Amino acid sequence: MLTKAIHLMEFLFPIFMIILGFVILLAGGDFLVKSAVSIAARLHISPAIIGLTIIAAGTSAPELVTSLIAAIKEAPDIAMGNIVGSNIFNILAILGFASLIKANRVDIDFMRVEIPMLIICTILLIGFSWDLVYERVEGVLSLVVLAVLFYISIYRSKKIKAELETSEEINILKHPVYDAFFLLLGLAALIGGAHLALENGIVLGRLFGLSERIIGITIISVGTGLPELATSIVAAYKGHNDIAVGNVIGSNLVNTMGVAGVAASFKSLELSEQLAHFDNFILLGVTLFLFFILFLSKQVITKAVGLLFVTAYTAYVTFLIYT
């Protein structure tokens, strides 16, 4: 009887810690969105660009830390699997859940510029990984590409003087110090909550006997993608569609070029053939699918499309586990 109770606790404790991590993540998402909207209004910058740059970089911090540690510990499949899995999770699960809460309208400029950028970066990721080695020079080049893309997005936003959202009143915090405080508090909560959920998710994965590759692409990628999930759901609920979508697109850009670039710049990543020649193409297919769906639906991710995305992600994870 005592043995059964101990075994039960082995499962219940990490589950409790994962739930606690979710709660911290949601609070962090609320703080981050509040500060981002205020910063956007104060600087007369489109909230979409804030989501694409500042929030995207902040919420991708868990991916960066996880992949860098994996590279240091000579686990390149976890490092790259985390990136690929997170990007798939971002598009299908995050945009799916966010759209189930409230339909998301994607700005036409995202269709013309940012999403094509993401498609090109994903193709670059496939090209760099094709020979099963992500070289250090390719990592440095990835970082240069990301810096150029961020510069283009910010410059274009200021040039066209994109109007702020008018769906609801834009709340500017009392002082820029409050902007910085809530921004840092939100990022800290997101990273801390993600770490809590991630570590205990890995424990659960091992208890269920999952392989290292599956843990990397599913549990770890979902764990590191939780900040994006929390931020986009809170943004969607509050009607800030530009931040919800911009956060996902920006985070995928940061993951594809930034996280992979930092990890590879530190140490060349020797990848498995399955990851380089299969999983990377699944990511490209999902990204193209997003563009195709938005083209057909006239830049609107409806609740029906959101349900389709969530179903597709569930089917993908089920396929990975059972094959």
Q: Return the pLDDT at 7.
A: 64
Within a domain: 257: yes
**Where residue 56 sits, what CATH number does that domain have?**
1.20.1420.30
Within a domain: 188: no
Beta partners for residue 133, in sequence order: 270
Q: Return the pLDDT at 282.
A: 93
Q: Is the dihedral of CA 194, 308, 53, 143 positive or negative?
A: positive
Within a domain: 186: no
Number of domains in the chain: 1
Output the pTM of the full model: 0.77
Within a domain: 70: yes
Q: Tell me the residue range of the domain where 53 lies.
A: 48-165+211-322
Within a domain: 24: no
Within a domain: 254: yes
Q: Is the Cβ–Cβ distance between 51 and 247 less than 8 Å?
A: yes
Between strands 300-301 and 269-270, the pairing is unpaired
Within a domain: 185: no
Q: Is the dihedral of CA 288, 256, 310, 190 positive or negative?
A: negative
pLDDT digits (tens, 9 = 90+) for 54-102: 666 666 777 777 777 778 777 788 888 889 998 999 899 988 888 888 7
User: Which residues does 204 contact at the CB level (< 8 Å), separation at least 6?
Assistant: 11, 14, 15, 18, 219
Between strands 269-270 and 133-134, the pairing is antiparallel
Within a domain: 122: yes
Beta partners for residue 105, in sequence order: 300
pLDDT surpasses 90 at 218: no
Q: What is the dihedral of CA 233, 237, 239, 243, to 10 degrees?
A: -10
